[in-house]
Structure 1
């Protein structure tokens, strides 16, 4: 079978999970509880931001024309200015009276601009350069100032009725802060995806148990559950399945009620004892090669109507499969989790890659814009993975790169 490209398989995963954005899979949550979710519909601004013209500085609200004197346009900046009477101060949170001609109102940052005022002179440009105390001479000299100076106009950030956040937006702190600024206490979001996670293998033992000869501890369950939880998924663990196909199928059917997706690890290659392949032989599940290293063997389909993804059994292959296929598919469909940041970096070391595969290496991205490789290309190198903060991508068609060559890097 000709291997699928990474892009084709990712598109297949998106198609498999299309039902996750059905209309009934939304809920309304208080803002903070919506952290990390995605928007099913755009949010329209119910008010303008800011909702009223306000001061950008501590200073004096003025009519710009009152600061101009005859010939100001030809005068040096330090000579321009006018002496204005000081009116009542404008604290933030109050509605001030209109500004009379020939006066200047002391105003605080964020305070509403009085009617008639169209500019603000910062306090440090006033003479004297401080607010006057009660009983002092109630006049101040201010430099010539253009209309609009240090004024935050109504809607200068966002206009009422415009799109505040488009559908598919990821709701991080900044997005939730925007919704709060618009006066919205809650928001409609996609429901969190529930995943049934099943690790397989007679050779696998749960951490904390005695390790008999020929056995290994289950790293995949913890690795994938942590990655999924970090991405905002709800994970149900079904324990470690044996290599008995009938028992595995029975477990999947018994545990998958209420799950949006099943993810298995191991048992998807072409070996003689590939339990996931054997258990799902009569299900609409396809087992195929993807032109990727590590993580080439993949399973995709449904079990009794529930979508299932079969990842390889080696730990690094599991994580790479999640990062390359499931995580970006959920981002595309639901707006969450947030995409992995992608940067260009220069290799610290040369590397070789199979010409016909997309290779994903583990690496450490450094502040100087270089990336060093951690370990080799092997899919069992957990210690190298733990010491990495990035995935280094070598696209299909490239077989060798030199130190100093640029590569795409996804930060973890």
Structure 2
């Protein structure tokens, strides 16, 4: 069995970003992946401006507290004032351009207006440059604003807008097909079959796929039959970049994923040394209408925690690379374990844990791969290397769910 590191490296080595790009309005680009570097079209800010409501002054004219000067003009945001005359100051509001001749701003709280707003007493001695935002201090025209491969979050959209972009070049969405095998499965709202269970993996996996900004196609539950599985693979391969299945990847008589994928394409990887999630399949399925092209295939275990964990650790970075994103690694931190783990498995374990009020990690009491409530309760995963235990108080690698679901 490959280790988790080896398996992920194998998947990422095979993944290449989709080639197609499109241009969308900046407002519609949230959650998309930037296809090209963009440089600022303007200086940001375009002029020196004030970061405070107050008075624009020549600092050399205010050498002591209590200096009184005449207010000669008023400059609201969105207007440009006149050159500041000697012995005068300008009332100025946040964001307004600094008038020529002024080199500092005194906050209004440090000033007292006298003589019907014509005279102002300055009660602090300003330093040159204070409360002034310089032209181009954020971006200069022609400077790189955002790099290709960036996930466009709200703050990236704000940068693009400030740089003058009403539209952005983005990668097209990755198209993912999903189906679920198991004659025991029923959909919520249907009566349970004798010996059956509701299909939780469908909602979990489709939810994660969509949260990553993919176009998801749900092919539902496929019967535990070899030909039905092959037919589902052929159909799903037609217009998708990736096929994801859940269940049927073990070695039982009713597990048909392995022979089906081998018949419709190829299988490169089978089983990895992690817990939960040992049975993980990776390969490709031939496109029926284009026999020289393939659709990537990843088969996940059927147990709900195994399916969820292997998706986050392996499928997520694979999809990110297909999207052309540059941030493929899972965020992780060293945190304190507030429990003992003295009987480690020979496989790399990923334990469901929660951050407690003391800043340590608590363990969900039941770590079974079938107990999905452990993932709903937890804040993330504790990465326990193969064969290595730890004691309460030891520092361990923690992977938050919050960094894996976007």
Distance 1:31 1:367, change over 3 A: farther
- Residue number among 17, 20, 24 corresponding to 1:29 in the alignment: 24
Secondary structure of the residue aligned to 2:231 is helix
Within the candidate set 217, 221, 235, 2:216 is matched to: 235
**Other structure's SS at 1:307 match:** strand
- Report the equivalent of 1:71: none
Pair 1:4 & 2:2 matched: yes
Deviation (angstroms), 1:404: 1.8
Is the 1:261–1:308 Cα contact (8 Å) retained in structure 2?
A: yes
Counterpart-to-counterpart distance in 1, 2:348 and 2:86: 71
> What whole-Å deviation, never above 9, does each CA across 1:134-166 have from its counterpart, x for those lacking one?
x44435345432211111011112222211122
2:45 is matched with 50
Q: Residue 319 of structure 2 aligns with which residue?
A: 330
Report the alpha carbon displacement of residue 5 of structure 1 after superposing the two structures with TM. Answer: 1.6
Query: What's the CA shift string for 1:189-233, capped at 9, x where partnerless?
Result: 122211110100122222222223222221111111111112222
Going from structure 1 to structure 2, the CA distance change for 1:161 and 1:137 (only over 3 Å counts) comes to: closer
Structure 1 residue 308 displacement after superposition? 0.5
- 1:309 maps to 298
Distance 1:271 1:43 in 2: 52
1:213 to 183, 194, 197: 194
Instruction: Using the TM superposition, name which of 101-110 and 27-36 deviates more.
Output: 27-36
CA RMSD in angstroms comes to: 2.1
Q: Secondary structure at the match of 1:87?
A: strand
TM-score by length of 2: 0.90
In 2: Cα distance, 1:197 partner to 1:337 partner: 24
Where structure 2 has 5 or more consecutive residues not aligned to the other structure, the ranges are 287-293, 402-406
SS in 2 for 1:280: helix
User: What residue number does 2:381 align with?
Assistant: 391
**Residue 106, structure 1, aligned to residue 104, structure 2:** no
3-state SS in 1 of match to 2:127: coil
Q: How much does 1:367 deviate?
A: 4.3
- Aligned partners of 1:276, 1:354: CA distance in 2, in Å? 30
The corresponding residue for 2:106 is 121
How many residue pairs are counted as aligned between the two chains?
A: 392
Question: For residues 316-352 of structure 1, what are the alpha-carbon distances to aligned partners after superposition, in whole Å with 9 as ceiling and x for unaligned?
Answer: 1111111001112333452289976533322222124
Where structure 1 has 5 or more consecutive residues not aligned to the other structure, the ranges are 69-78
Classify 1:375/1:198 alpha carbon distance in 2 versus 1 (closer, same or farther; 3 Å). Answer: farther
Deviations 1:44-75 (A, max 9, x none): 1111211110011111101222223xxxxxxx
> CA distance change for structure 1 residues 7 and 330 in 2, over 3 Å: closer, same or farther?
same
Conserved 8 A contact 1:64-1:119 = yes
How does 1:242-253 map onto structure 2 within 5 Å? 242-253=223-234
